[in-house]
């Protein structure tokens, strides 16, 4: 079986040769099968968002290769990758045009993915399709299709953005702490909708989270980044009975072992 996402020895260093030099990605190897739902853990500066930025083409790698569904996208421009990759951010304000209505935002995303010209004059067929998709989420958004997105709550906006990213299922969906800015009840609702969308279309997904319990319970695999590299890569069986406390112990043990090895190099 081929992989949906292949990352080979990805390296990225910012500020090379200066006092602010930072190795953001260090020989990252990562392979996702079609339909994988991978949760991504790591402390601040571990390389989580940098990895997503590299996949999306916000910058080019210093070395390494990225392939998506068998195609090499290492040097593909960001705007072309966006046709194949959906991404949600922590900030509900990102990803939508606040002055446009819900249906106009959906039409914009839909026309982009279908590679056709965008028109504010929506067809009845498109409008009904958007209404049906919104109704699945039981948030009443199907009755507010003409409401400007800027007037929606954070949770409502994230749901609209999520639907915009998946109306035409992408090859890969990247969720960059997309529920972190929401209150707990709304975050649970948005996560439930996320599962619904991902499972229905079997979208290969990566989700950054700081919630370790959520990471161990969501999807079928968890990776932990540290210092720009993959510290752990746990499949469903490995993490099945894993507790947060045990994961923290494993992290500490691995860090100590790495520190000891690094010190031995200086002796």
Q: How confident is the model at residue 260 (pLDDT cuts 50, 70, 90)?
A: low
Q: Is the pLDDT of residue 266 over 70?
A: no
Question: Which comes out higher in pLDDT, residue 248 or 116?
Answer: 248
Contact 181, 91 (CB under 8 A): yes
Task: Say if strands 221-226 and 229-235 run parallel, antiparallel, or are unpaired.
Answer: antiparallel
Confidence class for position 232, pLDDT limits 50, 70, 90: very high
> CB of 57 within 8 A of CB of 144?
no
What pLDDT, on the 0 to 100 scale, is given for residue 211?
93
**DSSP per-residue string spanning the chain:** ---SEEEEEEEEEESTTSTT-EEEEEEEEEEE-TT-EEEEE--TTSSHHHHHHHHHTSS--SEEEEEETTEE-TT--HHHHTTTEEEE-SSTTTTS-TTSBHHHHHHHHHHHHTT----SS--HHHHHHHHHHHHTT-SSGGG-TTSBGGGS-HHHHHHHHHHHHHSS--SEEEEESTTTTS-HHHHHHHHHHHHHHHHHHT-EEEEE-S-HHHHHHSSSEEEEEETTEEEEEEEHHHHTT--HHHHHHHHHHHHHHHHHHHHHHH-
pLDDT interval class at 1 (50, 70, 90): low
- What would the pLDDT profile of 53-109 be if each residue is shown by its tens digit? 999 999 999 999 999 999 999 999 999 999 999 999 999 888 899 999 999 999 988
Percent of the chain scored above 90 by pLDDT? 82
Give residue-wise pLDDT tens across range 106-130: 998 888 766 555 555 678 898 999 9
């Amino acid at each position: 079986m081929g992989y949906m996402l292949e990352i080979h020895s990805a390296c990225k260093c910012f500020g090379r040769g200066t006092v602010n030099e930072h190795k953001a990605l260090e020989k990252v190897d990562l392979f996702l099968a079609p339909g994988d739902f991978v949760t991504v853990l790591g402390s601040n500066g571990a390389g989580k968002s940098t990895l997503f930025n590299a996949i999306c083409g916000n910058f080019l790698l210093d070395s390494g290769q990225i392939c998506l569904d068998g195609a090499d996208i290492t040097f593909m421009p960001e705007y072309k990758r966006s046709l194949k990759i959906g991404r949600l951010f922590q900030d509900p304000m990102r990803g939508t045009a606040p002055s446009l209505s819900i249906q106009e935002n959906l039409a914009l995303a839909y026309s982009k993915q279908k590679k056709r010209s965008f028109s504010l004059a929506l067809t009845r067929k498109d409008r009904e399709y958007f209404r049906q998709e919104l109704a699945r989420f039981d948030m009443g958004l199907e009755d507010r299709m003409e409401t400007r997105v800027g007037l929606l709550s954070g949770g409502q906006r994230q749901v609209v953005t999520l639907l915009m990213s998946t109306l035409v299922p992408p090859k890969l969906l990247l969720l960059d702490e997309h529920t972190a800015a929401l209150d707990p009840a709304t975050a649970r609702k948005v996560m439930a909708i996320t599962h619904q969308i991902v499972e229905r279309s079997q979208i290969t997904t990566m989700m950054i989270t700081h919630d370790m319990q959520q990471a161990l319970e969501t999807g079928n695999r968890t990776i932990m980044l540290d210092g720009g590299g993959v510290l752990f890569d746990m499949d469903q069986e490995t993490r099945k009975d894993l507790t947060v406390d045990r994961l923290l112990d494993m992290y500490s043990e691995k860090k100590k072992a790495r520190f000891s090895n690094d010190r031995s190099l200086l002796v």
